[in-house]
Amino acid sequence: MPVDADTLTRERIPTVIVDGLHIVYRVHGAGSGKGSATSALSRIVSKRRSPSVREVHAVRGVTFTAYKGEAIGLIGSNGSGKSTLLRAIAGLLPAERGAVFTDGQPSLLGVNAALMNDLTGERNVILGGLAMGMSQDEIKSRYQEIVDFSGINEKGDFISLPMRTYSSGMAARLRFSIAAAKSHDVLMIDEALATGDAKFQRRSEERIRELRKEAGTVFLVSHNNKSIRDTCDRVIWLEKGELLMDGPTDEVIKAYEKENKR
């Protein structure tokens, strides 16, 4: 079938390819009951060696392709491998088997994103901006916007106080605001929407939609199905590290909710 120009311009551009990915954590010195006399005796009797390294196989053979302009929600029960998958896409975890290919630098915006607790919110905005590759001038021009978006100063001059004086919701809002100040090729958000109050959640959802328009691909990990419905057009459902379902948001969330009602 001939391909017309219109079809070509609408052609989907891949931004992230995850190919048969396996991620294994190795926990050192975590042998069960390692020090106890009974476990030592049972090891001697069964001639087992001391189990000093335990392996957690967190992602098991996951394969999918993400395209430019997509917002993809990751869902699944606790410990199903969602955060691990995001960290692997961000290049923070090595693949045991398989591979991740990305176009551009993926940025992971999580509740655990590293900001410095002893520094003021103001210093963290500057450091965070620099860490994302923004220039001093760019940060200066966006500074007020970031602070306003975070709403940190709504109840007093908190931005000039150390981050350790912030509530966990305030800290999460500032992290989100810093990361959302820049357009990203691939932006990954881990539970960011679950923190913050309803007003901030609405603001951040709006910003995610904008970021999506501006550039690349957005991944969102959340236990809040409404956030996923409002933000994402595609959903990947992980369970025990395996990809259970990948499709349009409505279809996947419906199946997920049905499974979880049992």
Ligand X SMILES: Nc1ncnc2c1ncn2[C@@H]1O[C@H](COP(=O)(O)OP(=O)(O)OP(=O)(O)O)[C@@H](O)[C@H]1O
Residue numbers of the site for ligand X (CB under 6 A)?
25, 27, 56, 58, 76, 78-84
76 or 196: whose CB is closer to ligand X?
76
Q: Which tokens hold the place of 223?
A: 């236990």
Q: State the nearest-atom distance from the C-beta of 174 to ligand X, in Å.
A: 21
Distance between first and last Cα of the chain:
47
25 or 101: whose CB is closer to ligand X?
25
CA–CA–CA angle 5, 7, 10 (5° rounding): 110
81 or 121: whose CB is closer to ligand X?
81
Q: Which tokens hold the place of 208?
A: 């995610």
Q: State the nearest-atom distance from the C-beta of 221 to ligand X, in Å.
A: 6
Query: How do beta strands 234-239 and 97-102 pair?
Result: unpaired
56 or 161: whose CB is closer to ligand X?
56
Residue whose token pair is 């001093």: 136
Please name which of 102, 76, 77, 72 lies closest in space to residue 90, comparing C-alpha atoms: 102
Q: State the nearest-atom distance from the C-beta of 126 to ligand X, in Å.
A: 29
134 or 193: whose CB is closer to ligand X?
193
Q: State the nearest-atom distance from the C-beta of 60 to ligand X, in Å.
A: 10
Q: State the nearest-atom distance from the C-beta of 86 to ligand X, in Å.
A: 8
Q: State the nearest-atom distance from the C-beta of 220 to ligand X, in Å.
A: 12
56 or 119: whose CB is closer to ligand X?
56
The Cα–Cα gap between 218 and 216 comes to: 7
Q: Which tokens hold the place of 251?
A: 């279809």
* CB count in 10 Å sphere of residue 85: 28
Helices 168-179 and 198-214 pack at an angle, to 10 degrees, of 20
